[in-house]
Amino acid sequence: MSEYIRGRVRGLSLDFFDTLVTVDCDRPSMAALLQSLGFRCTDVMESIWNTHGFDGQETPSHFSEPNYLSWRRANLAQLASCSGVPMHLIDEVVEKLEDNDLSWTVKAKPGAVELIDFTIARRIPTVICSNWDYDLGDYLRQAGLPDSFPCVISSFVGVRKPATRIFDEAARQLQLPSHAILHVGDSAEADVVGSLRAGMQAGYLSNGQSTLTLPSSLVVVFPSLYSVLDYLQSRFSC
């Protein structure tokens, strides 16, 4: 069993979406796009075949055969078919869904730039650990964040948070024992549960929402990224 020591933070793991960044220019949901094309689809139907529905599971990776994008296209094809898209239009509609998914942009959340600048200045080993379909480079640049950080992305590892293997890979990238790493994210399930199971220290970015029903010995609740920065400053002060 991993040793759990509160306060001895030597490295940092950060979730990406709704932690470091948020939506800048949004796009319609898959359900809304299918509805606009005249097909029947609901948010619940979308959630069955969207990648979020596979959280905690093994998936193909971008390097496997078949690869991640082929697997994802097959899921989108199932969504389109169940929404009433005729067979001869499936490929066309899947392409529209993919183009739509790539059309949105992100921006840095308040405190993200300052937090990243601090980790660089203090040379704190830091990794981004994210459930994400694509390479993060373009999205980091959109948000004005450095794109040189090591990134552990579910679609490249082939497993989605809260499965522990993705957190184990983050620890391997940082070359640190899991108990010395603080993982911070906005999802109680994917980030808090996953990092605790992996033996990391857990930080919950509440984003103004209600706090967790977990003791402070298990999880540190951060109302904003500025509070994450304050927490780290108290541990890495000269």
174 & 130 share domain = yes
Last residue of a domain, one of 46, 70, 101: 101
Last residue of a domain, one of 101, 118, 152: 101
Q: How big is the chain by its Cα radius of gyration, in Å?
A: 19
- According to the model, what pLDDT value does residue 4 have? 45
Residue whose pair of structure tokens reads 């459930």 in the numeric block: 131
Question: Can you state the percent helix, strand and coil of the chain, rounding each to 5?
Answer: 45, 15, 40
Note the pLDDT tens digit of each residue in 142-198.
999 999 889 999 999 999 999 999 999 999 999 999 999 999 999 999 999 999 999
Residue type, 18: D
170 & 143 share domain = yes
Pairwise CA distance, residues 125 & 194, whole Å: 20
152 & 117 share domain = yes
pLDDT along the chain (238 residues), means of 10: 60 98 95 97 96 96 96 98 98 98 96 97 97 96 93 98 98 97 96 97 88 85 96 82
129 & 17 share domain = yes
75 & 17 share domain = no
Q: Are 192 and 214 in contact (CB under 8 A)?
A: yes
Domain count, the chain: 2
91 & 185 share domain = no
Q: Is 194 helix (H, G, I), strand (E, B) or coil?
A: helix
- According to the model, what pLDDT value does residue 169 have? 98
116 & 87 share domain = no
Greatest distance between any 2 Cα atoms in the chain: 65
List all residues 6 or more positions away from 4 whose beta carbon is below 8 Å from its beta carbon.
179, 199, 201
Instruction: Choose among 178, 156, 127, 142: nearest CA to 12.
Output: 127
Flag whether 1 is in a domain.
no
What predicted TM-score, i.e. pTM, was given to this entire model?
A: 0.93
115 & 58 share domain = no
Q: Are 62 and 156 in contact (CB under 8 A)?
A: yes
Instruction: Tell me the residue range of the domain where 48 lies.
Output: 30-101
162 & 77 share domain = no
Pairwise CA distance, residues 97 & 14, whole Å: 28
DSSP states of 130-167: E--SS-SHHHHHHTT--S-S-EEEHHHHTB-TTSHHHH
Pairwise CA distance, residues 194 & 11, whole Å: 17
219 & 112 share domain = yes
Average pLDDT over the chain reads: 94
- According to the model, what pLDDT value does residue 135 have? 95
Report residue 109 CA to chain centroid gap: 14
Q: Are 41 and 83 in contact (CB under 8 A)?
A: yes
Q: Are 160 and 154 in contact (CB under 8 A)?
A: yes
63 & 146 share domain = no
77 & 42 share domain = yes
- According to the model, what pLDDT value does residue 6 have? 58
